[in-house]
């Protein structure tokens, strides 16, 4: 199946592969890319653990594909984001390719930010603080495909060493902690543009999240109000739905499943065949796919009537865009 999403205006060529699990394990042109684990909330600190800030961006696995002789950006759900891949190649190709030429079996786990990214949140802050404009990134983990699943993540010393060696931007670190109260005190100083911290064992085997909203009594002034959200709720729901993961706060319990995405692709292909033969069928065929998408997203979450109407409008716009592509293709 074609795994490309978010391709409008960003061309990286068709990439075929197979999503192997709903948590985002994917096989692309003979390269199997493991999922990034779903993080549990931190119950307590055990031993020495390192805390990295949790950035309000989106999680991408950057993987080198030998047959493409280039890297791609894989989203949580296993799909390849054309927009993110294109922009990262445009701005950081030399940097990443130097790393991958010497480490083709390693995967860079990065948080992506910037005004042209899928998470245009606090872009002014990242522009001023880190000089990220259209797109920026922070490496927070490196996976080694030559190691077994349980030992795949590099320990922090190795992660830090590799980032320094290749001049890669590493996620800001708050320190090493053994006591939750010390961590709480340190988190009070973290700017509220962040979401909290990700806490890891020093060997990289345990990874948990500790968000400001886990402790509203301690960090109430750092929890963003809903009105601060830049992306409208319905747009955030759709973005996460097609990326293959949930947005629990907004009622989306899970992203689209691989088989559903495959079905959607087949329906688009079928619509193309029909409307190229008879343009009077455009409205009828478009409505069928919108109905399919609406029925599908309702099984993945719970939304009020107002949000559903807005979601339906976005689906109609999306399918209208697909129709436009088909008609432009015919005119060439």
Lowest-confidence pick of 1-10, 133-142, 214-223, 301-310: 1-10
| pLDDT band of 83, cuts 50, 70, 90 | very high
The 10 Å Cβ neighbour count of residue 175 is 12
pLDDT value of residue 255:
84
Q: What is the fold, at CATH topology level, of the domain defined by 4-225?
A: D-amino Acid Aminotransferase; Chain A, domain 1 (3.30.470)
- Between CA 121 and CA 130, with CA 126 as vertex, the angle to 5 degrees is 160
Q: Tell me the average pLDDT across 176-184.
A: 95
φ, ψ of residue 19 in degrees (nearest 5):
-80, 125
Residue 227: per-residue pLDDT: 40
Domain parsing of the chain, residue ranges: 4-225, 233-331
Q: 293, 267 in Cβ contact below 8 A?
A: no
What is the chain's mean pLDDT, rounded?
A: 89
Rounded-to-integer distance, Cα 311 and Cα 297, Å = 9
Over residues 2-13, the mean pLDDT reads: 81
* Residue 28, pLDDT score: 94
The pLDDT > 70 percentage for the chain reads: 96
Burial class (CB in 10 A: 0-12, 13-18, 19+), 304: exposed
- The answer to whether the beta carbons of residues 130 and 92 sit under 8 Å apart is no
What is the Cα–Cα distance from 132 to 114, expressed in whole angstroms? 6
269 and 213 in contact (C-beta within 8 Å)?
Answer: no
Q: What is the pLDDT of residue 229?
A: 45
Half-sphere exposure of 111 (CA within 13 A, CB side): 19
Q: What is the pLDDT of residue 188?
A: 95
Summarize pLDDT for 252-284 with one digit per residue, the tens: 988 888 678 878 888 988 898 898 889 899 999
Using pLDDT thresholds of 50, 70 and 90, give the confidence band for residue 331: low
Report the pLDDT value the prediction gives residue 230, as an integer from 0 to 100: 62
**Cα–Cα dist 27/209, whole Å:** 27
């Amino acid at each position: 199946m074609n795994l490309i999403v978010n391709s409008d205006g960003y061309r990286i060529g068709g990439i075929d592969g197979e999503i192997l699990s709903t948590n985002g394990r994917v096989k692309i042109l003979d390269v199997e890319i493991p999922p990034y684990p779903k993080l549990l909330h931190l119950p307590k600190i055990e031993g020495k653990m390192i805390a990295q800030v949790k950035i309000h961006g989106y999680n991408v696995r950057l993987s080198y594909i030998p047959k493409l002789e280039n890297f791609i950006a894989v989203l949580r759900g296993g799909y390849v984001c054309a927009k993110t891949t294109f922009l990262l190649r445009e701005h950081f190709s030399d940097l990443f390719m130097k790393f991958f030429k010497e480490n083709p079996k390693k995967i860079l786990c990065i948080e992506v930010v910037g005004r042209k990214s899928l998470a245009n949140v606090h872009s002014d802050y990242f522009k001023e603080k880190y000089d990220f404009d259209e797109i920026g990134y922070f490496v927070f983990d490196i996976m080694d495909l030559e190691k077994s699943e349980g030992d795949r993540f590099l320990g922090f010393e190795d992660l830090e060493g590799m980032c320094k060696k290749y001049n890669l931007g590493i996620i800001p670190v708050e320190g090493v902690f053994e006591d939750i109260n010390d961590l709480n005190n340190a988190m009070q100083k973290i700017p509220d543009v962040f979401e909290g911290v990700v806490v890891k064992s020093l060997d990289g085997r345990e990874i948990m999240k500790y968000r400001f909203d886990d402790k509203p009594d301690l960090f109430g002034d750092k929890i963003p109000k809903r009105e601060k959200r830049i992306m409208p709720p319905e747009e955030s729901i759709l973005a996460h739905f097609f990326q293959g993961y949930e947005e629990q706060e907004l009622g989306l319990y899970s992203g689209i499943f691989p088989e559903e995405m495959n079905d959607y692709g087949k329906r688009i292909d079928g619509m193309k065949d029909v409307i190229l033969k008879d343009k009077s069928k455009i409205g009828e065929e478009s409505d069928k796919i919108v109905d399919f998408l609406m029925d599908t997203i309702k099984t993945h979450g719970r939304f009020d009537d107002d949000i559903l109407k807005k979601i339906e409008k976005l689906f109609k716009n999306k399918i209208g865009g697909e129709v436009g592509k088909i008609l432009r293709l015919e005119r060439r």
